[in-house]
Amino acid sequence: MSVAGRKVLITGGGSGLGAEMARAFAAAGAEVVIAGRDGARLEAVAGAAAAGAIRPVRADVTREADVEALFAAAGPVEIVIANAGAAASAPFGRTRLEDWEALLAVNLTGVFLTLRAALNQMGGWGRLIAVASTAGLRGYPYVAPYVAAKHGVVGLIRALALEVARREITANALCPGFLDTEMTGRSAAAIARETGRTEQEARDALARHNPQRRLIRPAEVSAAALWLCAPGSEGVNGQAIAISGGEP
């Protein structure tokens, strides 16, 4: 792959999609740095890879000082994937201000801090990728803060792409539908508690958002990220790429 020998930094790399992307980029020959708040999870992902292929750095992307320290520890990077995120559900009328602020902090402010630091240390070729969601392209009930944050990520990417368009840098967002990850498992468990359904019934209901009637595999998102870093993708800039089986 064309990423061989390049350094990539992935936030939220201790589990789920972030861990899968770390493994995919490492398998393609990249030098990978993963970041997150849970040091034990980061160490587990790094420890399961070939020696030195994945390096963990503990950081909270909602804290400006942590992000600055992260990039200082990582050294110059050419590919940055702002993947860290969180989700929670509640009816809009019962959404607390602290929940709103917390979800915007990790899902939107964290992306801003990560990509700003990334851009400021890029001198030549670079790829800026944000993991958004189909929630950045449409609405879903009971997750208003998450939807608002992901719409913000898509807007941020579209603005940033125009700023870097004259350079060898592109900025794009990946917008997967419901993923077959721990986060979706937690969502299914929450739905089951609220509705009396089984967790499997809740997972099936989430899968029905996808016209293919399935959850998206993390490897499908990793493949899209690798493609954005490959020759031939230079003209793909400022896009919100849906990976959702055709979900409108």
Q: Which residues are catalytic, by number?
A: 146
DSSP 93: G
Planar angle of CA 79, 80, 82, nearest 5 degrees: 155
- Determine the Cα–Cα distance for residues 235 and 248; give it in Å rounded to an integer: 24
- Which residues fall within 8 angstroms of residue 159, CB to CB, at 6 or more apart? none
- Strands, E, within 88-213: which ranges? 126-131, 169-176
DSSP 239: -
Q: Alpha helices, DSSP H only, in 75-143? A: 97-104, 110-120
Pairing mode of beta strands 7-11, 79-82 = parallel
